[in-house]
């Protein structure tokens, strides 16, 4: 399972990648807007830091404009994956860009039949938004299961990138289902490390060691 980080914040990306556990990054216009930096320069820097796929989203809504935008995004860095919204024009652009060898992440997917269309358009990734479905009382993870089943039935190479993740339970469910990628807000990634029994256990090990230090490591005590 690949972990992408769902942020455009370079400091978060540096911190997470320094752990050696991050395979890529996803951004969207809202995340980029928060950073208040020139777009191309920001995306280039993120690509250099992560050295893996970095999704950068088009903001046009008409296919020809999306294609033009997608081509210029792909020129920013070899790691750029062009993100297109799951609308008719977006899939039309996806087909053209994919045929040119540009990887496309089709975003804003909320139904299994939308995901089927994206796979047929040649998307490299499909991004179903689980948290936003949960927010309106649907089970976002049900959608992941349905897409995985459909893609498996027909051998589509499109990778299922679980997006709009809110907490580690989403990540656990995605992993149990065999999703290809989870894109994680920094907070959810960070939360995965924590367990009170780990902290308690480590504190006890270190306290026991300290107490027996003169016997088990006399050379350390002498020094
Ligand atoms: C995915 O690529 C999107 O950027 C993201 O996961 C959306 O998440 P949100 O619903 O928390 O905004």
pLDDT in tens, 15-53: 999 999 999 999 999 999 999 999 999 999 999 999 999
* Mean pLDDT, range 94-107, rounded to an integer: 98
Predicted local confidence at residue 64, as pLDDT:
98
Is it the case that residue 218 has pLDDT exceeding 80?
no
Mutate to test the pocket of ligand 1, among 131, 136, 167 (most ligand atoms within 8 A of CB): 131
Assess whether the C-beta atom of 183 lies below 6 angstroms from ligand 1.
yes
Mutate to test the pocket of ligand 1, among 58, 163, 187 (most ligand atoms within 8 A of CB): 163
Q: Alpha-carbon distance 2 to 24, whole Å?
A: 8
Percentage of residues of the chain with pLDDT beyond 90: 95
Is 47:53 a contact under the CB 8 Å cutoff? no
Judged by phi (left if over 0) then psi (alpha if -120 to 50, else beta), residue 90 lies in alpha
Predicted local confidence at residue 223, as pLDDT:
61
Assess whether the C-beta atom of 163 lies below 6 angstroms from ligand 1.
yes
For 129, 146, 200, 203, 212, the CA distances from 216, given in Å and listed in that order, are 53, 56, 22, 18, 6
Predicted local confidence at residue 143, as pLDDT:
98
Name the residues annotated as catalytic.
Answer: 83
Which residue puts its alpha carbon closest to atom 9 of ligand 1? 164
pTM, rounded to two decimals: 0.95
Closest ligand 1 atom to 27 CA: 4
Assess whether the C-beta atom of 7 lies below 6 angstroms from ligand 1.
no
Assess whether the C-beta atom of 29 lies below 6 angstroms from ligand 1.
no
* Mean pLDDT, range 158-163, rounded to an integer: 98
């Amino acid at each position: 399972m690949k972990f992408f980080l769902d942020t455009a914040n370079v400091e978060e990306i540096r911190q997470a990648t320094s752990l050696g556990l991050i395979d890529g990054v996803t951004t969207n216009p809202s995340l980029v807007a928060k950073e208040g930096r020139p777009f191309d320069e920001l995306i280039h820097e993120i690509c250099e830091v992560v050295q893996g796929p970095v999704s950068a989203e088009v903001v046009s809504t008409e296919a020809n404009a999306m294609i033009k935008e997608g081509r210029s995004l792909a020129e920013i860095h070899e790691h750029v994956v062009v993100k297109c919204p799951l609308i008719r024009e977006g899939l039309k652009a996806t087909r053209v860009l994919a045929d040119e060898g540009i990887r496309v992440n089709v975003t804003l997917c909320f139904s299994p039949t939308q995901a089927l269309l994206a796979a047929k358009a040649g998307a490299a990734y499909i991004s179903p938004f689980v948290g936003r479905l949960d927010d309106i009382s649907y089970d976002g993870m049900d959608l992941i299961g349905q897409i995985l089943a459909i893609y498996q039935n027909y051998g589509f190479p499109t990778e299922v990138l679980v997006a709009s993740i809110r907490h580690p339970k989403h990540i656990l469910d995605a992993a149990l289902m065999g999703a290809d990628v989870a894109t994680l807000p920094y907070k959810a990634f960070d939360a995965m490390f924590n367990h009170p029994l780990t902290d308690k256990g480590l504190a006890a090990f270190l306290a026991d060691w300290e107490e027996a230090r003169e016997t088990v490591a006399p050379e350390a005590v002498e020094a």
